[in-house]
Amino acid sequence: MYHHLTGRIVEKTPTLVVLDVRGVGFEIAIPVSTYERLPDAGEATLLIRRISRNEDVRLYGFLTKEEREVFRLVMTVQGVGPSGALSLLSTLNPSAFRNAVTEQDLPALMRSKGIGRKTASRIATELLDKVQALPVNGETPARSITDTATAALINLGYSNKEAEKAVWRAEKALPTGAGPEDLIRHALKSAG
Domain layout of the chain by residue ranges: 4-62, 65-133, 145-191
Ranges 32-36, 86-90, 107-111, 185-189: which has the least confidence: 185-189
Residues 108-144 pLDDT 10s: 999 988 899 999 999 998 888 888 766 555 444 444 6
Q: pLDDT at position 134, please?
A: 67
pLDDT of residue 149 exceeding 80: no
Percentage of residues in the chain having pLDDT higher than 70: 90
CATH of domain 145-191: 1.10.8
Is the per-residue pLDDT at 153 higher than 90?
no
User: pLDDT at residue 179 above 70?
Assistant: yes
Instruction: State pTM to two decimals.
Output: 0.67
| Gap between the Cα atoms of 191 and 127, Å rounded | 25
What CATH superfamily is the domain 65-133? Answer: 5' to 3' exonuclease, C-terminal subdomain (1.10.150.20)
What pLDDT does 139 receive? 43
Q: Give the CATH number of domain 4-62; options: 2.40.440.10, 2.40.50.140, 3.40.50.150, 3.90.700.10.
A: 2.40.50.140
Paired residues of 18 in beta bridges: 11, 27
Q: Quick check: helix, strand or coil at residue 39?
A: coil
Q: Say how far apart CA 160 and CA 147 lie, in whole Å.
A: 11
How far, in Å, CA of 138 to CA of 33, rounded?
16
End-to-end CA distance of the chain: 35
pLDDT digits (tens, 9 = 90+) for 70-81: 999 999 998 898
CB atoms within 10 A of CB 189: 10
